[in-house]
Homo-oligomer: A and B are copies of this chain.
Amino acid sequence: MTVSDELCSLRWDAHRASVEVIDQTRLPHSLQWRHLDSLHAFCHAISAMQVRGAPLIGITAAFGLAHALTEDPSDTALGQARDALLATRPTAVNLRWALQQVSELVQALPPRERAAAAWDKAQRLRLDDIANCERIGENGLRILRSLGKERLNIMTHCNAGWLATVKWGTALAPIYKAQASGIDVHVWVSETRPRNQGSGLTAWELQQAGVPCTIVTDNSCGQLMRQGRVDCVIVGSDRTAANGDVCNKVGTYLKALAARANDVPFYTALPESTIDWSCVEGGQIPIEERDESEVLRVAGLDSDGDLCDVGLAASGSQALNQAFDVTPADLVDTLITEYGCFAASEKGLRKLRKIISGQ
């Protein structure tokens, strides 16, 4: 089984050197593809979260750099484009990783060869992402099978599905594989305030694939675990430190605490590219603070079917909007990667690194 070819977040037409992405700020209310045709459009797509999710941010940035090199392949333009793309989001490490992959390759080439090589590299990163996510799905499926249940209630947070990658997803890949293998899967989708990636993106994505799911408030996730209604939690990661600390969408830490308190296994699914080997522990990861309006206002469909932005708090209210939190490694049972499953610890990650360097 493969996730349908329709279920893909970024399209690349090699013939026309053209990149299109789903504008995720419009989901779940309408499915709109955006043609990215300038460096500004690529940067805006990332910073305004038309594309989001650590892997997809990285791939989009790689294509953005290729686009910029098509317009101007000079060292100066390369540096400027890389800096502009790097500045769009601070927390996910894939952005830096993907830009580095493309930059290092093209810096060694004469300017006239750079654009073609960059497009080619971006496309290879895109295909690698698809293959890696499918392997994460297979490795995760083995863990889900080991729980020994015919019906699985899996909780997830934010969106770490194919909308956060190119295809398959990270946290959702094992769920798609489990469904295909005949396990009766049901997903608890936490809405993920303030941007509602759970209710807006994950629930929509699971519905496209026919996976039964129920939206719950972030607040109710502890209660559901206490009631024994959750068999495991699977989330993604925006950046993983070398000691196994996981930086992911804010609210992940609370779910990990509740999972531990209620003996519910807590898994993080991530491609190796989200590991920051230079980061000793999670406290070193910069936590993005986004605009307070994301907390004080919310967008949705009004009764006429128009997208409408409404204010929730009294005028003059102030909010703090930290987009991520850090879950300490000791609350994470297993890291599910494309290379297999590893303990969330310095030792576990050393083992992973050894496997990678041995290849």
A interface residues with partner B (beta carbon < 8 Å): 28-29, 191-194, 196, 199-200, 203-204, 207, 213-224, 226, 249-251, 253-254, 257-258, 261, 287, 295-303, 308-314, 316-322, 325-326
Contacts and interface: CB of A to CB of B under 8 A. Distances in A.
Nearest to A208: B314
Nearest to A193: B217
A28 B316 CA distance: 11
A229 to B, nearest CB: 9
A299 B310 contact: yes
Given A218-B251, A308-B310, A326-B226, A199 B317 contact: yes
Contacts of A193: 191, 193, 217-219
B303 A309 contact: yes
A167 B345 CA distance: 51
Secondary structure at the A interface, as helix, strand, loop or mixed, is: mixed
B300 A297 contact: yes
Of the candidates A29, A196, A222, A249, the one having the most CB atoms from chain B within 10 angstroms of its own CB is A222
Copies of this protein in the assembly total 2
A287 B253 CA distance: 25
A216 B314 contact: no
A181 B311 CA distance: 34
A215 B319 CA distance: 4
20 contacts: A28-B317, A29-B314, A193-B193, A199-B312, A199-B317, A214-B319, A216-B321, A217-B218, A217-B251, A217-B321, A218-B219, A220-B251, A222-B254, A223-B326, A226-B253, A257-B257, A257-B258, A297-B300, A302-B309, A302-B310
Contacts of A219: 192-194, 218, 249-251, 254, 325
Ordered nearest first, which 9 A-B pairs have the shortest CB separation? A300-B310, A219-B251, A28-B314, A223-B325, A215-B319, A222-B254, A222-B253, A199-B313, A193-B217
A219 B249 CA distance: 9
